């Protein structure tokens, strides 16, 4: 019998790629997405059209803040696994519209936790972010570092999600894996992401905004590497403390001492200078960008770098797509997608 897996945010950038991958692997995917207008919903509908062509995809358009509607989906489908990706994203957007993050990221995530507990989900996997490392300066970032200094409200809500999930895991024995994403990019990306903004500006002969005068490093992670990591983690269910085998009790494992709960970084573990990232885009386009050098934005950090030793230990897999390859894949998709739009 095929396993049921519920994916929230299934028409989003990462949710689309993950849902497609899981369908190809033989899962039955229950998609949940509100198709909100944070960015052009047509991009979400185009992703959804691809998923909906698969017989094992079932889509449900609703907000995760709506407990009763969400409960009806859990009750009807009884998912074996849940991957919770739906969230109000964006560091800078959270400065101007914090209440939206409270509703989606806090209230919505509470609903996912409560229903996963009530439906005895075998493994709940939830998206966090590298932004929770905040003011930390010791790199690479690893999962056992303290994350008490978030620099944006978005990051604060994601840290809250981690704490909420740990409490549910401890009290109810709900197995939870949190993954911290590091600057995901690739085809079908969101228009508010850097590559989209850069390529749109270049096409329209406008300068691109380069923050902190280009003195930024990011652990850019290609989306296909990310979803492969998530897929591998589905079967890595965190054990109860009393059931932990000795090979798991090693320094560096974030497994909770009191709950079947773990945090895992998912990144390329190879920080790239922002200017090199831009150069990869220029090379893929065959065009030099005009650059508007600007100071650091509020809530941003100068560098990120993922320690992925735990991911490798658990799954044997490490993201490795070079930025040059991933950026070219994005450019090829962007050109193809926009040519079809006319």
Nearest alpha carbon to residue 270 among 224, 245, 306, 297:
306
How many C-beta atoms surround the C-beta of residue 103 within 10 A? 13
145: tokens are 């570092």
What gap in Å lies between CA 98 and CA 102, rounded to an integer? 7
**Residues in contact with 80: Cβ distance below 8 Å, sequence separation at least 6, in sequence order:** 3, 4, 5, 121, 122
Tell me how far apart the alpha carbons of residues 261 and 237 are, in angstroms, rounded to a whole number: 9
Q: Where are the alpha helices (DSSP H) in 81-136?
A: 93-96, 98-101, 109-118
Query: Do β-strands 4-8 and 81-84 pair in parallel, antiparallel, or remain unpaired?
Result: parallel
Dihedral of alpha carbons 194, 200, 205, 206, sign: negative
Nearest CA-CA partner of 187 in 221, 220, 218, 222:
222
Say how far apart CA 24 and CA 154 lie, in whole Å.
32
Active site residue 39: no
How big is the chain by its Cα radius of gyration, in Å? 19
Question: Which DSSP symbol is given to 79?
Answer: -
Residue of 101, 154, 261, 277 marked catalytic:
154
The phi and psi torsions of 124 (rounded to 5 degrees) equal: -105, 125
- Euclidean distance between CA atoms 154 and 160, whole angstroms: 10
Active-site residues, by number, are 154
């Amino acid at each position: 019998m095929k396993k049921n897996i519920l994916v929230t945010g299934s028409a989003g950038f990462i949710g689309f790629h993950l849902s497609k991958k899981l369908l190809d692997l033989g899962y039955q995917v229950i998609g949940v997405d509100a198709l909100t207008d944070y960015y052009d919903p047509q991009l979400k509908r185009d992703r959804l059209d691809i998923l909906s062509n698969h017989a094992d995809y079932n889509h449900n358009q609703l907000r995760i803040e709506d407990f009763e509607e969400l409960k009806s989906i859990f009750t009807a489908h009884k998912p074996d696994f849940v991957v919770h990706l739906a969230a109000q994203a964006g560091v800078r957007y959270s400065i101007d519209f914090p209440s939206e993050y409270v509703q989606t990221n806090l209230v919505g995530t509470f609903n996912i936790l409560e229903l996963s507990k009530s439906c005895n989900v075998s493994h709940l996997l939830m998206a966090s972010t590298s932004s929770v490392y905040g003011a930390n300066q010791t790199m690479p970032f690893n999962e056992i570092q303290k994350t008490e200094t978030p620099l944006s409200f978005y990051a604060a809500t994601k840290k809250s999600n981690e704490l909420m999930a740990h409490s549910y895991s401890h009290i109810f024995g709900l197995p939870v894996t949190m993954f911290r994403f590091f600057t995901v990019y690739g085809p079908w990306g969101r228009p508010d992401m850097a590559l989209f903004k850069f390529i749109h500006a270049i096409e329209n002969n406008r300068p691109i905004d380069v923050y902190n005068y280009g003195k930024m490093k990011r652990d850019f992670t290609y989306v296909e590497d990310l979803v492969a990591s998530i897929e591998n983690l589905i079967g890595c269910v965190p054990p109860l403390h009393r059931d932990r085998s000795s090979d798991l009790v090693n320094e560096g494992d974030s497994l909770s001492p009191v709950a079947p709960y773990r945090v895992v970084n998912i990144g390329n573990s190879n920080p790239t200078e922002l200017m090199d990232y831009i150069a990869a885009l220029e090379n893929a386009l065959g065009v030099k960008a005009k650059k508007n050098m600007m100071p650091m934005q509020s809530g941003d950090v100068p560098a990120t770098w993922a320690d992925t030793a735990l991911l490798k230990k658990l799954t044997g897999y490490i993201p490795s797509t070079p930025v040059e390859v991933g950026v070219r894949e994005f450019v090829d998709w962007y050109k193809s997608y926009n040519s079809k739009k006319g």
